[in-house]
Amino acid sequence: MPEPEDGPQAGAMRPESREGGGPLRTGLTTGVCATAAAAAAARLALGGEQRTPVPVTLPRGEAVTLPLQDLRAVEGGAEAGVIKDGGDDPDATHGARVWVRIVPTPESGVAFQAGAGVGTVTRSGLPVPPGEPAINPVPRQMITEYLQEVAAELGHPGGFTVTVGVDGGERIAQRTMNPRLGIEGGISILGTTGIVRPFSCSAYIASIHQAIDVARANGLGRVACCTGGTSEAAAQAHYGLDDMALIEMGDLFGAALKYLRQHPIPAVVLMAGFGKLSKFADGHLDTHSRKCAIDLAGLAAEAEQLGAGGELVARVADANTAMEALAACQEAGLPLADRVCARAWVQARRLLPATTALEVCAVDRRGRVVGQAAGEPEAQP
């Protein structure tokens, strides 16, 4: 249930390399923030001595401390807030206040509730079942273990009700995959290692995987792996797919297709912008501009194979963008996009199970399908 995250204490973050500058700071996940807030609130609720900043041990054994933003008594218990520090990652939740309300109960066990800004799961296929607050298993385990530790230390024989919220979480969630995954009302409380690594793509990859899991759990027979909003709209118009069938893979073709190899769906459509698709057709599994460039010389050679004359070949080779190269070929009636789709089909076919039906479509900036490939590659131009 991801937004982009998954660093030690604020002010003592572990450095990562930064091109052309100083080190990048890692950050801490919402799950770690919630754990610290829960531990502090439990101590206040049970009359214990407060520890500030709050010490937390991460899942892999690393010790960090987090400062509290606020701590107060509430009816029946206590509430604490921690400001999420994502380090130098462009994280949707960076700077948000993660708060936890703890109410001790005479019954044993820990019951989790979604406060304002934390979503509720409504679909199968996610790490927690429908009807539960969107608090992932590792944060649940961390919070539970800390509450058990505080209860044992302070002699509390019962359990706790734990309400986790995030200020502005409902608004933040609109910038994440949560609405499409069937998580309503807010963000997810995340974290596997507890650490947010700048620009690692790990949470984005997790969101791709979870979207596929949701599609499988709900019995979908076809999904469309799309590079952005334009290609998603094209997939919906072309195939009549609903939101649950749209897998927003962005540049990460490899992450989507490799996961589909291990977790297959009967039919897969690759619906991508022409430029990104040309990079994938060249064998690049991550098509971000920092990873690879469009091979205009290769597109020019392809145009020549399709019958382009010398002047057109030069126009393609000297084009500023892949779309400019495509437009030149379209004017001449050459099916360059179909040829690129055919090569992309071959690349995708290698990554998917043989039993998966595969189609590839290229779209232009207006969402029009400009090239297609399906079936065996020999049938393509």
The letter for the amino acid at 128 is V
Cis amide bond preceding 137, omega within 30: no
pLDDT tens per residue across span 133-182: 999 999 999 999 999 999 999 999 999 999 999 999 999 999 888 998 99
Distance, in Å, from the CA atom of 213 to the CA atom of 207, rounded to the nearest integer, reads: 10
Average pLDDT over residues 207-235: 95
Q: How many CB atoms lie within 10 A of CB 63?
A: 10
- pLDDT-based confidence at 199, cuts 50/70/90? low
pLDDT the model gives residue 17: 34
pLDDT the model gives residue 372: 97
pLDDT the model gives residue 23: 66
pLDDT the model gives residue 86: 82
Residue 239 has pLDDT above 60, yes or no: yes
**DSSP, res 135:** B
Distance, in Å, from the CA atom of 183 to the CA atom of 171, rounded to the nearest integer, reads: 13
pLDDT the model gives residue 107: 96
Average pLDDT over residues 63-79: 97
pLDDT the model gives residue 375: 76
**Which phi-psi region, left, alpha or beta, contains residue 350 (left: φ > 0; alpha: ψ -120 to 50)?**
alpha
Strand pairing class (159-166; 117-118): unpaired
Looking at per-residue confidence, does 305 or 15 come out higher?
Answer: 305
Q: Please check whether residue 142 is in contact with residue 59, taking contact to mean a CB–CB distance below 8 angstroms.
A: yes
User: Six-digit token pair at 355?
Assistant: 């039993």
Distance, in Å, from the CA atom of 370 to the CA atom of 303, rounded to the nearest integer, reads: 15
**DSSP, res 61:** S
Closest to 178 measured CA to CA, from 186, 168, 167: 186
**Cα dihedral sign, 185-191-194-197:** negative
Distance, in Å, from the CA atom of 288 to the CA atom of 299, rounded to the nearest integer, reads: 18
**DSSP, res 52:** S
143: CB partners within 8 A, 6+ apart: 34, 35, 38, 100, 110, 112, 135, 162
Distance, in Å, from the CA atom of 211 to the CA atom of 47, rounded to the nearest integer, reads: 43
Distance, in Å, from the CA atom of 293 to the CA atom of 277, rounded to the nearest integer, reads: 12
Domains of the chain: 15-196 (3.30.2110.10), 220-379 (no CATH)
Question: Which helix (H) or strand (E) is 232 found in, with range?
Answer: helix 229-239
The letter for the amino acid at 81 is G
| CA distances to 159, 276, 352, 363 from 228, in Å | 45, 11, 21, 11
Average pLDDT over residues 310-329: 95
Q: Please check whether residue 71 is in contact with residue 44, taking contact to mean a CB–CB distance below 8 angstroms.
A: yes
**DSSP, res 244:** G
Residue 203 has pLDDT above 80, yes or no: no
Strand pairing class (267-273; 222-226): parallel
Q: To the nearest whole number, what is the mean pLDDT of the chain? A: 90
pLDDT the model gives residue 290: 83
Number of residues assigned to the chain: 381
- pLDDT-based confidence at 376, cuts 50/70/90? low
Residue 88 has pLDDT above 80, yes or no: no
Residue 18 has pLDDT above 50, yes or no: no
Query: Coil, helix or strand for 152?
Result: helix
pLDDT the model gives residue 198: 64
Query: Coil, helix or strand for 296?
Result: helix
* In the chain, % of residues over pLDDT 70: 91
pLDDT the model gives residue 317: 96
- pLDDT-based confidence at 87, cuts 50/70/90? confident
Phi/psi for 313 (5° steps) reads -60, -45
- pLDDT-based confidence at 16, cuts 50/70/90? very low
pLDDT tens per residue across span 265-312: 999 999 999 999 999 999 999 998 888 999 999 999 999 999 999 999
pLDDT tens per residue across span 341-363: 999 999 999 999 999 999 999 99
pLDDT the model gives residue 4: 37
